[in-house]
Structure 1
């Protein structure tokens, strides 16, 4: 009872921080207390749409989802602590990175939001990578912009401002056109010495598009860049009404710089220091490794982004991870329903995932590609989910599930092999977070085999990016002068926390390598499916 009173007082006195993250399938809001642990939450499910060959979310879906997740959080506060939420100590917004949102001088969206999931920017990606001698993936905002220029799209001349989803929400609630440096590093390359956009590359871009006679320069349309801990504006009266439709939330609350889901994942797993890394596994999968030095050369499979404090990070990203796996589990759920068995979906996932640990080390010769959408790591602009086996494969449930878990990490492993085997990057430990790690020990064992490195999952890993951005919001107002983000996380958030660690099993490591040989050879089957189905 006393604990609830303490929490209630924290809420009333505004000694809290609110984090809201726009994920691919869910918008989640988390409120944390003075000790940085979650005290209330709310969420809203949403889905992207494929319209005119573009993956998008409608603007009205953005605001509906934000308002619904906040209302549910406020209701959770009311139910648990009998307090009407009128203020918080600080707020932070994060979202899936990259993509394309451009606005005219009247702040009107010029074309529907183009998400990171689109793989139609290969021409611009290649051209800019060659121009900058720096890998520019198709997902990056600058690749979207240059592709629109190459396509001679009508709206280009009317651009007044370009931002990301997180930057858009932050702008509308504060009036500030800014991004956190981690999010900005997925828009345009960052100069690590200045923690700002690379001015040489901006000049190169301006010269590249000069023949187009555009009425703007790149530096004039990009948002400003801030590092973690810097002030990023306050909630305006208009913003407060946009966030809380009941009109109860008061304006004036400070906000931290808006960040991307990569950065919030690093924060939520306490992997912002060098030689640490984390893997986020959900709709997409990405591995983040904080580097001690630059890579020896440009690798098109590896993105270079930054931590929220502006340190260099190598990212191996795959567009597809759990969507096809979830669809297969859904099929098993349909079967149990048809048989008249009522099975809890979490129990179904747990049972099927644990079955995977009983399979042959290499998955029994089975093959799967969960390419619901295109996959840049293996150069597919479109995807076709595919399962295949030979007449000699050991086809059973354990191997079937093991293969689908293997392939969920398959594309990402291609990038990680470049870092670990070719670039000899040193990794002390990988922290896993996301839905694929909910069943204890299974996703960890598979990932440890894929990377041949220890994998830990913290007790708080399930809190995800919304918790991560709440921590950044808390740091922005509670961090002591001169205290680094690493120190803040170690002393104020993760002190005393023990993760559950799984070491790689040599047999599983060898089995995953066998599977990957099959995976690479079988890409021709996936290519034929894309071209003919």
Structure 2
């Protein structure tokens, strides 16, 4: 840590030594400002709520909402810096953007959007994903960009002949801020499978790209004739620590229409929320992993060896440094739990004792600890949308129970929390079948602001130690701010280090996190309790056959 890391926040901001991270999540766009010389220190945050829309049967967000949300989140951050420190940033040490992974944004040669943004939440790509998984010999999930592209090809959609390039939401925002069309390797690995070239640098797998081009030539010749090769359609790849362009004037005005913020800050490679979650939990080393809990829920485990078999439940992606990761992604996370908590808050308000959200979660989670270890026959299904891990094409949230169960608040709340983790636990069985070693998992997301409860139940669900750092609730916006600070450091080193261009930047990420970010961090590790493990296992034994209720409900309701 440099001597400047001890400066007052106002001095850090005024000197242009703050790094900005922005993450576009499913329900909030969040901005996070950190001290670039001490990224563990959060200076200010700002956020803007938004919601996806169902348009013509597909989940989307408009680009207008993206632009408005970026400015609103940054404006909220500025209001906080002015209120707390009496100063607003005029220059930044670094900037980075992250967003929900995968999905599909297709543009023509003039940069016009050809079809509304298709998010990770859409499950219409089943035929394409199945065909590509067989062609490539590796699992291609429904939400991956290549699955969306190929589904559009197989459907002969009118926009396909006009495609010049496709990207993710993070890639789109990064291009708006910097003018550069590129992705961090973690996000890129959710577009198309990646491998390494002879120099060890991550790349889209050339053999699989050739197979795809051959498939188009054989079965979809019109698309093959109209489309550029995949190498031209997909964004270029960058690794954590590399400079991925600089904030341009138009990008600065997008964030700050008032004109206070200057252009010029080096930009980190844009990443997906999975990669920034790994950074936010210091889970980038082999045999570690993280669990991100929000609108969706997913686990990332860094592999120390290749998997022996292909598994439909596992996505093979990478860390922001390009190291191999097995990912279990579930479309449905805490949304249904949040709705139940909102219902209880409304009852409290009607009873004349209104309660804020954090206090409500604390009380209800504490009550969950009083429930039976197996929730005593109460089951909670949180599927608002389709869930590939559970083989559900559509979701219908439900609470069901056996006639002899005890319907108590404690059992209902334990079932609700278990329900958030149930499909993740089903997916993680594939890793267990491969005997993948996991020394610890680190969790993050707002669910963990209430200490002890969700962490304990997650440890039981996965039968592995779970850690939660004090920074866990900051999540991916802080993670991308840390990556922006890392990029700023590497950019500064390049001016003084003659060998900087030849360094393996990915090798530095873990050491940087250990020394500059998490040294002395307060991370509490919880081992699974035997009674909880047995109770969750019994819950899951009832939950899995009960998924038939979801399938029937989707047909009749």
Report TM bin, short chain.
over 0.9
Give 1:499's aligned residue. 523
Label 1:147 to 1:520 Cα distance change in 2 as closer, same or farther (>3 A). same
Q: Does the Cα contact within 8 Å between 1:67 and 1:243 map onto a contact in 2?
A: yes
Alpha-carbon distance in 2 for matches of 1:341, 1:472 = 43
Distance between the aligned counterparts of 1:333 and 1:416, measured in 2? 33
Counterpart pick for 1:444 among 455, 464, 467: 455
Partner of 1:131: 135
In 2: Cα distance, 1:3 partner to 1:476 partner: 17
Q: Name the structure 2 match of 1:209.
A: 216
CA distance in 1, matches of 2:339, 2:76: 28
Q: Does 1:350 align with 2:362?
A: yes
Secondary structure at 1:305 match in 2: strand
Task: Please list, as runs of the form range in 1=range in 2, the aligned pairs for 1:287-366 lying within 5 A after superposition.
Answer: 287-366=299-378
Note if contact 2:247-2:263 (Cα within 8 Å) is conserved in structure 1: yes
Instruction: Say yes or no: does 1:111 pair with 2:108.
Output: no
Selected match of 2:12 from 7, 10, 34: 10
How many angstroms does 1:460 deviate by?
Answer: 1.1
Is 1:148 the counterpart of 2:152? The answer is yes
- Structure 2 distance, partners of 1:239, 1:338, is 46
Preserved contact between residue 94 and residue 469 of structure 1 (Cα < 8 Å): yes
Cα distance in 1 for partners of 2:6, 2:269 equals: 31
Determine the structure 1 residue equivalent to 2:203.
Answer: 196
Separation in structure 2 between the aligned mates of residue 264 and residue 208 of structure 1, nearest angstrom:
34
* Preserved CA contact (<8 Å) 1:78 1:85: no
Aligned to 1:162: 166
**Cα deviation, residue 327, structure 1:** 0.9
1:515 pairs with 2:539:
yes
Task: Note the C-alpha offset of 1:477.
Answer: 1.9
* 1:530 aligned counterpart, secondary structure: helix
**Cα shift readout 1:8-61 (whole Å, capped 9, x = no counterpart):** 222122112110000111111111112111111111111111111111111111
Question: What are the residue-to-residue correspondences of 1:31-430 with 2, within 5 Å?
Answer: 31-33=33-35, 34-36=37-39, 37-192=41-196, 193-210=200-217, 211-212=221-222, 213-420=225-432, 422-430=433-441
Task: Give SS of 2:298's match.
Answer: strand
Post-superposition Cα deviations, 1:456-496, rounded to whole Å, max 9, x if no partner, equal 10011111101100111111121465561000000111011
Q: Which moved more, 1:383-392 or 1:130-139?
A: 383-392
1:291–1:29 distance in 2 versus 1, CA, 3 Å? same
The separation in 2 between residues aligned to 1:77 and 1:343, in whole angstroms, is 28
Contact kept in structure 1, 2:13 and 2:88, CA below 8 Å = no
CA distance in 1, matches of 2:359, 2:176: 41
Shift of 1:3: 10
**Equivalent residue number for residue 431 of structure 1:** 442
Q: Deviations over 1:481-531 (max 9, x none)?
A: 556100000011101113112111111101111111111110111110011
**1-side partners of 2:209 and 2:276: how far apart?**
27
| Other structure's SS at 1:484 match | helix
1: CA distance, partners of 2:82 / 2:7: 13
| Contact 2:186/2:322 (<8 A) preserved | yes
How high is the TM-score relative to the length of structure 2? 0.93
CA distance in 1, matches of 2:275, 2:334: 21
Q: RMSD of the TM alignment (CA)?
A: 1.4
**1:364 alignment partner, SS class:** helix
What's the CA shift for 1:240? 1.4
Aligned to 1:485: 509
Q: Distance in 1 between matches of 2:424 and 2:116?
A: 29
CA distance in 1 between partners of 2:381 and 2:355 (Å): 27
Distance in 2, Cα, partners of 1:506 & 1:151: 50
Distance 1:28 1:41 in 2: 7
What do the CA deviations read for 1:312-348 (whole angstroms, capped 9, x no partner)? 0011110001111111111111211222222222211
> Secondary structure of the residue that 1:361 maps to in structure 2?
coil
1:518-533 correspondence runs (5 A): 518-533=542-557
8 A Cα contact 1:282 1:435, kept in partner: yes
SS of 1:38's partner is strand
Q: Count how many residue pairs are aligned between Structure 1 and Structure 2.
A: 531
Alpha-carbon shift at residue 175 of structure 1 (Å): 1.1
Give structure 1 regions of 4+ aligned residues with deviation exceeding 6 angstroms.
2-5
Q: Which runs of 5+ in 1 are unaligned?
A: none
TM-score for the superposition, normalised by structure 1: 0.98
Aligned 8 A contact 1:4 1:81 in 2: no
Q: Structure 1 CA distance, aligned partners of 2:178 and 2:486? A: 19
- Quote the Cα distance in structure 2 between the aligned partners of 1:122 and 1:167: 24
